Structure 1
Amino acid sequence: MSQRSDLRRRRATLEDEWTRWVAGRTVLRTAAPGRGALRPEVTESWGRSLVSVDPRVDSAPVTDGGSVARRWAGSPLRRPVDGLADELHSIAEDAGFVSAVTDESGTILWTCGGRTMRRRAEQVNFAPGGRWDEPAMGTNALSLALRTGRPATVFSAEHLVSALHGWVCYCAPIHAPDGRVLGVLDLSTTWDRSHPLAMSTVRSLVSTIETRLRTELPAPATAPVRLTCLGGAGRAERAGVPLPLRPRQLEILTLLALEPGGFTAERLREALYGDRLVTASTFKAEISHLRRALGGGIATRRYALTDPVSCDADDVLRALKDGDLTTALRHYGGPLLPRSEAPGIIEWRAQLEVAVREAVLASADPEHTLHYGERAPYDAEVHQRALGLLGPADTRRPIVLGRLSTALRD
Structure 2
Amino acid sequence: MSDRPIDSAIWSDRDVRATTRRLATVHEAALAGEATGGAPLAAPRAVIGESWRRVLVSGSVDPDRDSPQTLLSVAELEHRRQVSQLAAVLPVLHEGLLPAADAAQQIMVVTDAEGRVLWREGSAPVRRMADRLGFDKGADWREGVVGTNAIGTALVARRPILVHSAEHFVRSHHQWTCAAAPLHDPRDGRLLGTVDLSGPAPSFHPTTLSLVSAVARLAEGELRGRHQLSLERLRSSAAPVLARLGGRALAVDPNGWVVGVTGLTPPDRVALPKAPQAGPLWLPRYGSCALEPLPGGWLIRVGRQERDVGPSRVLLDLSGRDGPTITVSGPAGSWAHELTPRHAELLFVLAAHPQGRSAAELARDLFGDESRTVTVRAELSRLRRHLASVLAHRPYRFADGVEVELRLPAARAHLLPQSSAPAVAAARRG
Which TM-score applies when normalising by structure 2?
0.50
Structure-1 separation of matches of 2:37 and 2:217: 35
- State yes or no: 1:201 paired with 2:211: yes
Please give the residue correspondences for 1:112-123 in structure 2 after superposition, counting only pairs within 5 Å.
Answer: 112-123=121-132
SS in structure 1 of the partner of residue 85 of structure 2: coil
2:115 paired residue number? 106
With over 3 angstroms needed to count, the CA separation of the structure-2 counterparts of 1:313 and 1:81, relative to structure 1, is closer
Shift of 1:165: 0.3
Contact in 1 for aligned 2:92/2:218 (Cα 8 Å): no
Structure-1 separation of matches of 2:13 and 2:368: 47
- State yes or no: 1:47 paired with 2:56: no
Shift of 1:121: 1.5
Q: Which of 51, 56, 64 pairs up with 2:64?
A: 56
2:201 paired residue number? 191
Shift of 1:328: 6.9
Structure-1 separation of matches of 2:20 and 2:99: 28
Structure-1 separation of matches of 2:126 and 2:146: 19
Query: What amino acid does structure 1 have at the position aligned with 2:125?
Result: T
Computing the radius of gyration over CA atoms, which structure comes out larger, 1 or 2?
1
1:96 paired residue number? 105
- State yes or no: 1:179 paired with 2:285: no
Contact in 1 for aligned 2:111/2:194 (Cα 8 Å): yes
- State yes or no: 1:68 paired with 2:77: yes
Per-residue Cα deviation, 1:166-223 (whole angstroms, up to 9, x for no partner): 01111111121212222111111111111111111101110111111111046989xx
Shift of 1:124: 1.4
Structure-1 separation of matches of 2:12 and 2:175: 17
With over 3 angstroms needed to count, the CA separation of the structure-2 counterparts of 1:328 and 1:139, relative to structure 1, is same
2:27 paired residue number? 18
Structure-2 separation of matches of 1:52 and 1:27: 19
Shift of 1:240: 6.8
Query: What amino acid does structure 2 have at the position aligned with 1:209?
Result: A
With over 3 angstroms needed to count, the CA separation of the structure-2 counterparts of 1:24 and 1:124, relative to structure 1, is farther
Structure-2 separation of matches of 1:28 and 1:328: 77
Shift of 1:5: 0.9
Shift of 1:64: 2.1
Q: Which of 192, 216, 224 pairs up with 2:226?
A: 216
Structure-1 separation of matches of 2:142 and 2:180: 13
Please give the residue correspondences for 1:329-408 in structure 2 after superposition, counting only pairs within 5 Å.
Answer: none
Q: Say how many residue pairs are matched.
A: 249
Query: What amino acid does structure 1 have at the position aligned with 2:64?
Result: R
Of 78-87 and 181-190, more deviation after overlay is shown by 78-87
User: Structure 2: where are the runs of 5+ without partners?
Assistant: 1-9, 234-294, 297-317, 326-337, 342-365, 370-415
Q: Report which of the two has the higher share of helix.
A: 1
SS in structure 2 of the partner of residue 174 of structure 1: strand
Contact in 1 for aligned 2:368/2:421 (Cα 8 Å): no
With over 3 angstroms needed to count, the CA separation of the structure-2 counterparts of 1:311 and 1:164, relative to structure 1, is farther
Structure-1 separation of matches of 2:142 and 2:340: 44
Structure-1 separation of matches of 2:47 and 2:192: 22
Contact in 1 for aligned 2:33/2:40 (Cα 8 Å): no
Contact in 2 for aligned 1:60/1:132 (Cα 8 Å): no
Per-residue Cα deviation, 1:283-330 (whole angstroms, up to 9, x for no partner): xxxxxxxxxxxxxxxxxxxxxxxxxxx8757346996xxxx6xx5757
Shift of 1:116: 0.9
Please give the residue correspondences for 1:237-248 in structure 2 after superposition, counting only pairs within 5 Å.
Answer: 239=338
Which TM-score applies when normalising by structure 1?
0.52
Of 199-208 and 78-87, more deviation after overlay is shown by 78-87
Of 88-97 and 200-209, more deviation after overlay is shown by 88-97
Structure-1 separation of matches of 2:133 and 2:324: 42
Q: Report which of the two has the higher share of strand.
A: 2
Structure-2 separation of matches of 1:60 and 1:187: 22
SS in structure 1 of the partner of residue 193 of structure 2: strand
Structure-1 separation of matches of 2:175 and 2:62: 18
With over 3 angstroms needed to count, the CA separation of the structure-2 counterparts of 1:240 and 1:54, relative to structure 1, is closer
SS in structure 1 of the partner of residue 198 of structure 2: strand
Contact in 2 for aligned 1:107/1:130 (Cα 8 Å): yes
1:145 paired residue number? 154
Shift of 1:57: 2.5
With over 3 angstroms needed to count, the CA separation of the structure-2 counterparts of 1:92 and 1:316, relative to structure 1, is same
SS in structure 2 of the partner of residue 130 of structure 1: coil
